[in-house]
Amino acid sequence: MTPTDLAGEILDGSSRAIARLITWLEEEDERAFACLKELHPHCGKAYVIGVTGSPGAGKSTLVASLARAFRKDNLTVGIIAIDPSSPFTGGAVLGDRVRMSSLSADPGVFIRSMATRGFLGGLTQTTGDVVRILDASGKEVIIVESVGVGQDEVDIMRIADTTCLVLVPGAGDIIQTMKAGVMEIADIFVVNKADRPEADLLSSEVLFRVQNDGSIRPKEWRPPVVETIAIEGSGISELLRSIADHRHHLEATGKLKERRYAQAREETLRTLQRRLFELVRRQLEDSGILDRLVPDIVAGRRNPYTTVDEIVERLLVIPTTERSHMKVLGTDHIGLAVSSIQEAIPFYRDLLGLGAPRSEVVKDQNIATASFDVGDTRIELLEATSDDSPIAKFIESHGEGIHHIAFRVTNVDEALSELGRKGARLIDKTARAGAGGARIAFVHPKSTHGVLIELCERSEGRQ
Ligand SMILES: Nc1nc2c(ncn2[C@@H]2O[C@H](COP(=O)(O)OP(=O)(O)OP(=O)(O)O)[C@@H](O)[C@H]2O)c(=O)[nH]1
Ligand SMILES: [Mg+2]
């Protein structure tokens, strides 16, 4: 079976094909990535609902009820249940299968349990991939169930459009025991097992927190609290309505787009991380380098940190052709700080014979300038016109002398962003106006080994 064949079957909605690709993913089969690439253009239509909460809160029962309700509306449903137990016990997986058995015969529903351990790229990565597979297969709603343990509940909001946090009454003071971060992820609070007497108390407690705790959610969306009895299916229509409201809110405010943007960004970085690590690991292992290094680390002759530094340096050399896109066209001028332009002019004009200077005052820098053409470049005399001019300060600390060298560049904005990206210290983050209508910016002497450098972009005509 080629990745293309499999992708074709998945696009036709085949459950067997979906299951097969997930298996490829779990086995880190290279073909999985080829297949995901083909599916990607068909993704982005499904709505993703996350259901999280403590073990035994009734998440699976709730998910099954939700799925049945969506099926009544003729929507196709994908369910991913993330099982917190080790992949070897499989107990809870079976439990979920039984609970959802009435759904599993329905061709409009796809259910998959996944163990949380054993994924090289991490749970979020693999779950994200499975969500995309189901999305491409045409599932209109995808529900992801995960237990609120450790980092998982934070990860679910990276995948889900709407996150439901399931709480149960009588499970001790759940709100107290739940970390603040867990409360924050909820778009909707579900108080399940509302057949228990303490349910109303819990609901009002949660509602109080929602109304008074600014950290729970930004004000534009106040998470509703919905009571459900998942085993009886009661409260499900209210929950559906809350989900629809939240979806509408996300769409109307542009937040859905924002979330998808953030998700795609994360996703790209995570995929890069996974691929890069795989690549490096394979090279280190295949080349035997790793096995040559480890004995030294064990014997204490090397430490792992320096070793990793060396590996990274060796593998990730930025190609020299990438080093610079900016183009220095020449030396535009050399700026000389002088105490008095009038006193300095005679030397340059008469003794050096450079001819009459062009004079100009640059108001916003508090300087007066006189410039002489010297071949392809110029000498620019600079005099302070006020005490707080940079030239006044320069002369105070250095005396008269070379103040800066100005290089002509094609585009000062591009030059700035490139230098900034590569770690140069910039005095100007954006270009400003200089003498003669130029656009200029200064680079700090700390980065240039002692001389102030001006970048200077001149429009046509004037050199
Ligand atoms: N009384 C009552 N029991 C419920 C309700 N919903 C679920 N249960 C029961 O609670 C138990 C756990 O339900 P599950 O749906 O497996 O809970 P879960 O959160 O998915 O559990 P894990 O996936 O193992 O974390 C089961 O015995 C359910 O029958 C409810 O509304 N009321
Ligand atoms: Mg469950």
Give percent helix, percent strand, percent coil of the chain, each to the nearest 5. 50, 20, 30
**According to CATH, what is the number of the domain 328-457?**
3.10.180.10
* Ligand 2 centroid distance, CA of 39 (Å): 29
Tens of pLDDT, residues 63-84: 999 999 999 999 999 999 887 5
User: Shortest CA distance to 354 belongs to which of 371, 331, 335, 330?
Assistant: 371
116 lines ligand 1 (CB under 6 A): no
Ligand 1 pocket, mutate which of 52, 54, 61, 111 (most atoms under 8 A from CB): 61
43-261 shares its CATH topology with 328-457: no
> In this predicted model, what pLDDT tens digit does every residue of 217-276 receive, in sequence order?
556 888 999 999 999 999 999 999 999 999 999 999 999 999 888 888 888 888 888 888
Read off the pLDDT of residues 414-432 as tens digits, 9 standing for 90 and up.
Answer: 899 889 888 899 999 899 8
Average pLDDT over residues 305-309: 89
Lowest mean pLDDT segment, chosen from 306-315, 425-434, 447-456: 306-315
191 lines ligand 1 (CB under 6 A): no
164: alpha, beta or left? (left if phi > 0; alpha if psi -120 to 50): beta
404 in contact with ligand 1, CB cutoff 6 A: no
Say what percent of the chain tops pLDDT 70: 86
What are the φ/ψ torsions at residue 162 (nearest 5 degrees)?
A: -125, 125
Domain ranges of the chain: 43-261, 268-322, 328-457
For residue 42, give the amino acid letter: H
Of 122-131, 273-282, 327-336, 339-348, the poorest mean pLDDT is in: 122-131
Q: Find the 67 Cα to ligand 2 centroid distance in Å.
A: 14
Class (C level, CATH) for 43-261: alpha beta
**Residue in 96, 231, 232, 238 to alter for ligand 1 test, most ligand atoms within 8 A of Cβ:** 231
User: What is the model's pLDDT at position 463?
Assistant: 41
Task: Give the position, in ligand 1's atom list, of the atom nearest the Cα of 194.
Answer: 31
| Average pLDDT taken over every residue of the chain | 85
**How many angstroms separate the CA atoms of 170 and 202, rounded?**
8
Q: Which of 51, 60, 232 to mutate to test the pocket of ligand 1 (most atoms within 8 A of CB)?
A: 60
93 C-alpha vs ligand 1 centroid, how far in Å? 14
Return the pLDDT at 442: 94
pLDDT tens profile 182-204: 677 889 999 999 999 989 998 99
What's the pLDDT tens digit per position in 99-154?
566 787 888 999 988 876 555 456 677 888 999 999 999 999 999 998 765 455 55
* Calpha distance 133→48 (Å, rounded): 12
Alpha carbons 217 and 255: distance in angstroms, whole number: 13
Q: Are 277 and 128 in contact (CB under 8 A)?
A: no
Share of the chain above pLDDT 90, in %: 52
